[in-house]
Amino acid sequence: MSTNTIVSLPDQSTARIPKDNFLTRENGLLSWLLTGDHKRIAILYLISISFFFFIGGALAGLIRLELLTPQTDLMATDTYNKVFTMHGIIMIFFFLVPSVPATLGNFFIPMMIGAKDLALPKVNLLSWYLYIAGGILALVTMATGGVDTGWTFTTPLSTHYVNTNVLTTGLAVFIAGFSSILTGLNFIVTIHKMRAPGMTWFRMPLFIWSHYAASILMVLATPVVAIAIVLVALERTIGIGVFDPTKGGDPLLFQHLFWFYSHPAVYIMILPGMGVISEVISTFSRKRVFGYTAVAFSSVAIAVFGFFVWAHHMFIMGISNYSVLVFSLLTMLVAVPSAIKIFNWTFTLYKGSITFETPMIYAFGFMGLFTIGGMTGVFLGSSGTDIHLTETYFIVAHFHFVMVGGMLMAFLSGIHFWWPKITGRMYPEKISQMAAVVTFIGFNLTFFPQFILGALGMPRRYASYPPEFQILNVFSTAGATILGVGYLLPVLYLIWSLKYGAIAGSNPWQATGLEWQTQSPPLTENFAVMPIMDHEAYDYEWLEKQQQAQKKTEVTSAG
Partner 1 sequence: MPDNSVNAHGADHAGNTALAEHPSYLRHHFNSVEQQADATNFAMWLFLLTEVMFFGGLFTAYLIYRNWFYQAFVAGSHQLNVIWGTTNTVVLILSSFTMAMGVWCAETRRKNGLVLCLTLTFILGLAFLGIKTIEYREKIEMHHVPGFHYSLQSFLDPESNPEVFKEYHDKPLAPDMARHTELYFSLYFLMTGMHALHMIIGIGILAFMIIRARAGAYTSGHVTFVENFGLYWHFVDIIWIYLFALLYLISRH
Site track for partner 1 across 527-556, x = CB under 8 A? xxxx--------------------------
52-60, 165-173, 238-246, 342-350 -> range binding partner 1 (CB under 8 A): 238-246
**Please, which residue, 178 or 305, has the CB nearer to partner 1?**
178
Helix (H) or strand (E) holding 289: none
**Please, which residue, 247 or 551, has the CB nearer to partner 1?**
247
Tell me if residue 529 falls in helix, strand or coil. Answer: coil
Instruction: Let me know if 556 is exposed, middle or buried by CB neighbors in 10 A (0-12, 13-18, 19+).
Output: exposed
CA 408 distance to own-chain centroid: 6
- Closest separation in Å from C-beta 529 to partner 1: 5
Bridge partner list, 503 = 425
Contact in structure between 295 and 213 (CB atoms under 8 Å)? no
Contact flag: residue 120 with partner 1 (CB under 8 A): yes
CA 540 distance to own-chain centroid: 28
- Closest separation in Å from C-beta 136 to partner 1: 24
CA distance 444 to 1: 23
**Which of 74, 240, 317, 452 contacts partner 1 by CB under 8 A?**
240
Contact in structure between 442 and 479 (CB atoms under 8 Å)? yes
Contact flag: residue 185 with partner 1 (CB under 8 A): yes
**Please, which residue, 133 or 253, has the CB nearer to partner 1?**
253
**Please, which residue, 83 or 226, has the CB nearer to partner 1?**
226
Nearest CA-CA partner of 438 in 478, 483, 494, 492: 483
CA distance 373 to 96: 16
Tell me if residue 507 falls in helix, strand or coil. Answer: coil
User: What does residue 198 show for φ and ψ, rounded to 5 degrees?
Assistant: 85, -15
Instruction: Let me know if 273 is exposed, middle or buried by CB neighbors in 10 A (0-12, 13-18, 19+).
Output: buried
81-89, 166-174, 178-186, 427-435 -> range binding partner 1 (CB under 8 A): 178-186
Contact flag: residue 126 with partner 1 (CB under 8 A): no
**Please, which residue, 217 or 334, has the CB nearer to partner 1?**
217
# of chain residues touching partner 1 (CB under 8 A): 45
**Which of 88, 223, 352, 368 contacts partner 1 by CB under 8 A?**
223
**Please, which residue, 257 or 435, has the CB nearer to partner 1?**
257
Buried/exposed code over 148-170 (b: 16+ C-beta within 10 A; e: otherwise)? bbbbbbbbbebbeebebbbbbbb
**Please, which residue, 306 or 420, has the CB nearer to partner 1?**
306
- Closest separation in Å from C-beta 95 to partner 1: 23
Contact flag: residue 241 with partner 1 (CB under 8 A): yes
Buried/exposed code over 120-141 (b: 16+ C-beta within 10 A; e: otherwise)? bbeebbbbbebbbbbbebbbeb
Contact flag: residue 304 with partner 1 (CB under 8 A): no
Contact flag: residue 156 with partner 1 (CB under 8 A): no
**Which of 23, 242, 396, 458 contacts partner 1 by CB under 8 A?**
242
**Please, which residue, 245 or 467, has the CB nearer to partner 1?**
245
Strand (E) positions, 54-197?
none
- Closest separation in Å from C-beta 226 to partner 1: 6
CA distance 260 to 222: 9
CA 289 distance to own-chain centroid: 21
- By CB under 8 A, what part of segment 499-528 binds partner 1? 525, 527-528
Cα distances (Å, whole numbers) of residue 505 to 141, 421, 501, 553, 557: 45, 8, 12, 18, 21
Contact flag: residue 234 with partner 1 (CB under 8 A): yes
Contact flag: residue 34 with partner 1 (CB under 8 A): no
**Which of 14, 16, 28, 193 contacts partner 1 by CB under 8 A?**
193
- Closest separation in Å from C-beta 531 to partner 1: 9
- By CB under 8 A, what part of segment 253-272 binds partner 1? 253, 256-257
- Closest separation in Å from C-beta 404 to partner 1: 29
Contact flag: residue 249 with partner 1 (CB under 8 A): yes
Cα distances (Å, whole numbers) of residue 302 to 169, 276, 280: 30, 16, 21
- Residues lying near partner 1 in the complex (CB under 8 A): 115-121, 123, 181, 185-186, 188-190, 192-194, 219-224, 226-228, 231, 234, 238-242, 247-250, 253, 256-257, 525, 527-530
